[in-house]
Structure 1
Amino acid sequence: MKARRTTSGLPRAEGEAAQRRSNPLGAAPGRRSRVRAWPAAGSRTRSAARQRAQMDELRQGIRYRRIFVTLLGVIIAVSAVVVLLGTVGLVAETRSRPLTAAEQNQYKDEEIARRWQAWPATGVFPEEVKYVGLDRAQQYARRVGIAPETDCGKGVDTSVAEVLRSHNCRTMLRATYTDQTAAFVITVGVAVLENEESRVSATDELAKDDRVGVLPVAFPGTVSERFGRDQRQRTGWVGAGPYIVFSTAGYADGRTRAAVPPEEILHSELWPAAKSVGNQIAYFLADPPKVPPCTQGNVC
């Protein structure tokens, strides 16, 4: 009996032997191998390294977060303390309390020093100013007009201007009055110094000369229209706070100083009236204000 042949023409036995020789594991031809492919040892090591790196990053991030939270907490706590201390200090500083003697004096000085600006011109130079006339009778001088504010050097004689400028005189205010009988004309000038110390220094240097001082201000069409430099009979000044209040007087009829005998001036009502008017305006400017007892009014 002949051996069976495979489709390739070889005997079956010989074909199977040939297949076994080509497949030493003996797996049946045409079947998939059941042997698992083992992963390389290096891939497992790399995976573990990546996991450790990720864990290290996570731990480092947690540490940074704790540090950040701690610093933020410290900053918030310090800020809260600063705000609290500032609030306490502000309350202590702004609460009403009694004024000290130094603060009361400062209040007075500041109030007096700003009056020439805070008051209207009619407050510095009232419409009527009382003075004492003959037989000590009380009379009233009436304001003729108020001159525009001017530079200190332009409102006084040259020798006086030099003194005022050397002590930083700020400005000059002037107004003209007439006495109750309209026989005398009086110009009052207010020189504004920086403070009372400057005023005292300036007045110490002013010459004792009744021929120089404030320049007259004449208003056309009034009783003062003839009042000029030559018509000044006498001049003088008085200090009050940071102000030097000058005054000068003459006759409304235009008589010059040279035309009037000295003895007539000495016994005339002209100069006492002019001096009294100047003193009254100085008193208004430097009259001590009422000082509140507390920093925020009358209640401490």
Structure 2
Amino acid sequence: MVTCVVLGLGLIGGAVTGSWLSGDSADGAGTPDAFTAAGALWHSIPVDELFPPTVDGEGAGPGGADRTWTRIAVAPDSGCKDAFDPLLSKALAPAGCLRLLRATYTDATRSHVTTVGLLFTKADSAAMGTLRTRFNAQGLDRRRDLMPRPYGAQGTLAAGFGDAQRASWTLSVLTDAPVVVYAVSGFADGRTVTEPQPAEDAMKADATTPAAQGGLGHDAQGLADRIERSLRKTVNSATEKPS
């Protein structure tokens, strides 16, 4: 795949977009205009900026060890049909699906694979707030029957990364943008995982599941965090006003 391909045409302009992405409360951040602008980002950012070829995770590994992840596949941007397990699709349905963007990475040892996804929804700010409250209150982001599905691209190290290989995951409903960010990780050798564990639990020092001992919770959480930061940083840089 040509990595300089752009997921759409143009680049969203305007100070409100930059304000949201920088987390700045000034210049309209958190306003309906900023929220709407953020929802248009899925078709405006180059692939290499949205999902960088290499992601550095300083201190992101177990015990504060550094991590490095290399992108091995980018899924064509798509809708959400068959992208999630039925129960997760049902839980996310109130927000709607505008576009789904995904990429899969491997760690430096090529022993782990992790899919990161950005679901751009059709929801307004109030609906995203309601969805986030429901996920948090009911612990929906921690249920094994609501794990996101991986993108196991054929011809890559992730070819055997399917539903049965999911080991750890994280999912976050944003409220300042119509976006759900998630990541799901597994072993690159295609082994079946019988005890998948949410990243938050797998990252605990006393966790003993295969996911925890392999550092797969750190992979899922670390990549999800950094892809979200990359999105914010990239678009803020592209839309900031000249000095």
Structure-1-length-normalised TM-score: 0.57
What is the match of residue 249 of structure 1? Answer: 185
Alignment of 1:69-80 (within 5 A): none
Give 3-state SS (helix, strand or coil) of 2:184's partner: strand
CA–CA distance in structure 2, aligned partners of residues 197 and 155 of structure 1: 25
Alignment of 1:230-241 (within 5 A): 230-240=164-174, 241=177
Alignment of 1:174-253 (within 5 A): 174-194=102-122, 195-206=124-135, 207=140, 208-240=142-174, 241-253=177-189
CA–CA distance in structure 1, aligned partners of residues 134 and 196 of structure 2: 29
In angstroms, what is the RMSD of aligned CA positions?
2.8
Unaligned runs of 5+ in 1: 1-100
User: For 1:118, which of 26, 37, 44 is the aligned residue?
Assistant: 44
Shift of residue 120, structure 1, vs aligned partner = 2.1
Counterpart contact for 2:161–2:190, Cα < 8 Å: yes
How many equivalent residue pairs?
A: 195
Unaligned runs of 5+ in 2: 1-24, 198-207
Shift of residue 289, structure 1, vs aligned partner = 2.9
Shift of residue 123, structure 1, vs aligned partner = 2.3
Identity %: 24
Shift of residue 259, structure 1, vs aligned partner = 7.8
Aligned AA (2:161): F
What is the match of residue 149 of structure 1? Answer: 77
Aligned AA (1:276): G
Alignment of 1:1-300 (within 5 A): 103-105=27-29, 106=31, 108-131=34-57, 132-194=60-122, 195-206=124-135, 207=140, 208-240=142-174, 241-258=177-194, 263-287=209-233, 289=236
What is the match of residue 25 of structure 1? Answer: none
Change (3 A) 1:157 1:260: closer
CA–CA distance in structure 2, aligned partners of residues 233 and 174 of structure 1: 18
**Greater CA deviation, 155-164 or 253-262?**
253-262
Give 3-state SS (helix, strand or coil) of 1:238's partner: strand
Aligned AA (2:223): V
Deviation string 1:123-168 (CA, Å, 9 cap, x unpaired) is 2211111222244232210111111222224211111111222222
Change (3 A) 1:160 1:203: farther
**Greater CA deviation, 218-227 or 106-115?**
106-115
Could you say which structure has the greater relative contact order, defined with CA pairs below 8 angstroms and 6 or more residues apart?
A: 2
What is the match of residue 7 of structure 2? Answer: none
Change (3 A) 1:204 1:157: farther
Counterpart contact for 1:176–1:188, Cα < 8 Å: yes
CA–CA distance in structure 2, aligned partners of residues 285 and 242 of structure 1: 13
What is the match of residue 42 of structure 1? Answer: none
Counterpart contact for 2:147–2:169, Cα < 8 Å: yes
CA–CA distance in structure 2, aligned partners of residues 280 and 198 of structure 1: 25
Counterpart contact for 1:153–1:165, Cα < 8 Å: no
Aligned AA (1:104): G
Shift of residue 117, structure 1, vs aligned partner = 1.4
Shift of residue 254, structure 1, vs aligned partner = 0.9
Flag the structure with higher helix content.
1
Shift of residue 102, structure 1, vs aligned partner = 7.5
